[in-house]
Amino acid sequence: MLLAIDSGNTNIKWGIHDEHRWLVMNVTPQNSFTVLADSWQSLPPLTQIFISNVAGIGIQEAVSEIIPVSASKPVWIEAVVSECGLYNNYYQSKSLGSDRWAAMVSVWNRYHEPCLIVSLGTAMTIDMVSESGDFVGGIITPGVKVLSNALVEKTCLPKADSGIYDSFSLSTENALFTGTIDALVGVIEKSHHAMLSKYGYKSVRCILSGGDSNIIYPHLNLQFEIIDNLVLNGLVTIAQSRKGL
């Protein structure tokens, strides 16, 4: 029985997997460690614990204190040079976020074809995987809320929370919301075009994941799929691979 934990900037997602399917999946706001500890007290006996943490050493230490007992030592994954058929071409392999690595492992082992993987959370990350399973590069930008709030914090503009998408905006709220969406959509579509142009692919599979996918996808002018919990599924793939070593 595997406990997979995705400790992100805003939330901690976790689930119990029995090597065939998810038995439990849940999400807890970051820093809600009492709630997590209570939830983990009633878990079935565990054989593996695999964790991706991008929220810093303080969060890692806090999670470590409440991790339930298992038959093996918890594994805090890092990006490596190669794993599960995926090759990491980052200049310093371990500096690639463990969440991005796990998400790419999940997508590559599901499709084995050129992919653009877009994760829309606190930040928006775009990662590109070639037809040979090479991670060939990526982009990081602020996510929807961070990008719009950055202008609010530095100017007298109102918040975009009440804005709607309108290419011909006649209110400041609408203009701010529309500008934020168009900026992020532009980055996604440019990255997609870059893969087609550089490698001569006829098509590149586009995957969206993360809490703000539903805000972005209506405005994309390309085919895409929304797949939730890429990091957790990637942790399962990695855990199964390492168990077989």
Is 166 in the active site? no
The helices-and-strands tally (H runs, E runs) of the chain is 7, 12
| Per-residue exposure over 134-167, b if at least 16 CB sit within 10 Å of its own CB, e if not | bbbbbeeebbbbebbbeeeeeeeeeebeebeeee
61, 242, 111, 136: CA torsion to nearest 10 = 70
Query: Scanning the structure block, which residue is given the tokens 């900037």?
Result: 9
Catalytic residue among 18, 38, 99, 212: 99
Looking at residue 201, the DSSP 8-state letter turns out to be -
CA dist 77 and 181 (Å) reads 32
CA dist 174 and 170 (Å) reads 7
CA dist 102 and 5 (Å) reads 11
Q: What is the DSSP string of 139-171?
A: EEEE-HHHHHHHHHHHSSPPPSTT----TT--S
Q: What amino acid positions are annotated as catalytic residues?
A: 99
